[in-house]
Amino acid sequence: MDRLEFSRLIVKEAGEITLKYFYAPTEYSVERKADMSPVTIADLEVERFLRDRIREQFPDDTILGEEFSAQSGTSGFKWLLDPIDGTKSFIHGVPFYSMLVGIEQDGINVGGVIGLPALGEMLWAGRGVGAWHETNRFKDVVRAKVSDCRNISDAVFLTSEVLTFNKSNRRNAYERLECNVSLTRTWGDAYGYFLVATGRAEIMVDPILSDWDAGPMLVILEESGGKFTDWKGISTIYGKEGIGTNGFLHEETLKILNN
């Protein structure tokens, strides 16, 4: 089994773990990490599950995840894991949380998966094989394509949390972009990039982004016809920030954000 196929399988399996807690919110407590971001037993259990399954199948691969220390490997392959992206949504019963798996080979982002267990959807892509959107509890599969919107005044702009623009001293950038688009919403975290890649929004911006948050985004956006970069326009998942667009509006978005 190749790594992309395997990642789709384990994301579906791990999704069942999250649902066990998602539909029983009184069964777990919410803790705070050093940066005051929330973490639950579901985050920890899912990452342990993903790590164990990857180690069983590909013992020589490197693994980088949000909740536990990195595990080194020698194969040239690297996994980036976010067990629950959008933990704030998860703990409030909002179904927009996701699981993220990114796959690198010799430093190149070659595969990625975004799973939405509570919505029964998945988005995955492999370098050169396209991006694919699974719906209806994973029964239907269609090619994922960005929208063909070419006028920023018609665009939908998404972000995870407006407060992050304040934290990064970029509130003016948020307001400039908001003034230029048709609609702004905080349908964010990985779900925002999911909406861009499937043609339901045009722009998703994060001024603060961890490596595991960005793990699958580059290959998914590019294979669906869009673009993912940092705020400098560099195609990387390690920029600690992210801009995902349908491609047609990318340069204009960069110019507005950077004034």
Q: Match 């919505």 to its residue by tokens.
A: 119
What CATH number was assigned to the domain covering residues 152-258?
3.40.190.80
Q: How far apart are the first and last CA of the chain?
A: 47
pLDDT bracket for residue 53 (50, 70, 90):
very high
* pLDDT at position 52 over 90: yes
Q: What is the rounded average pLDDT for all residues in the chain?
A: 96
Collapse the DSSP code of 68 into the 3-class scheme (helix H, G, I; strand E, B; otherwise coil) and give the result.
Answer: coil
Q: What is the mean pLDDT of residues 220-226?
A: 98
| pLDDT tens, position by position, 21-38 | 999 877 788 888 777 788
The CATH 3.30.540.10 domain(s) of the chain lie at: 3-143
Question: What fold does the segment set 3-143 form as a domain?
Answer: Fructose-1,6-Bisphosphatase; Chain A, domain 1 (3.30.540)
Classify burial at 5, counting beta carbons within 10 Å of its beta carbon; exposed 0-12, middle 13-18, buried 19 or more. Answer: exposed
pLDDT recorded at residue 137: 86
The CATH 3.40.190.80 domain(s) of the chain lie at: 152-258
Burial 67-88 (b: 16+ CB within 10 A, else e): beeeeebeeebbbbbbbbbbbb
Complete DSSP assignment for 118-182: TTTEEEEEETTTEEEEEETTTTEEEE--------GGG-EEEES-THHHHHTT-HHHHHHHHHHSS
| pLDDT tens, position by position, 159-205 | 999 999 999 999 999 999 999 999 999 999 999 999 999 999 999 99
β-partners of residue 245 are: 203, 227
Q: Which amino acid is at 208?
A: I
